[in-house]
Structure 1
Amino acid sequence: MPGRSGPDEDLEAPAVGHVPVGELSTLSPEFRSQWAAHNVRIHHDGTKRLRHPRSAAWS
């Protein structure tokens, strides 16, 4: 999971699935609208899923 690491992970390596906000905004209209609405708060439980028409679902 991005932002978390285990004992054997390289802490200097970029997180798997890390995509800058600008790129996500360009790629996903759903992300762009939720980001603009500030609907991206931290969830302490559950998973927020976004779907992109040309790629797999993001969690």
Structure 2
Amino acid sequence: MVDIFAAAGVENPDISILSDEFLADVRQLPQRHLALELINQRRNLTNILSLYNNST
């Protein structure tokens, strides 16, 4: 098994905010697709910044 984050030189994402309680709250939101998209965008931005910081 290959750790793709380690292979890319990126730290593993912190998924600690994705507790069962948090996910249950998101499921109840009428705009849950927007909440999930914001989480994805934040994760993507964090990865981009990490890659940039590792390259300088």
Q: TM > 0.5 between the two?
A: no
User: Which structure has the highest helix share of the two?
Assistant: 2
With the length of structure 1 as denominator, give the TM-score of the two structures. Answer: 0.30
Query: Larger Rg: 1 or 2?
Result: 2
TM-score (norm 2): 0.31
The higher relative CO (CA closer than 8 Å, separation ≥ 6) is in 2
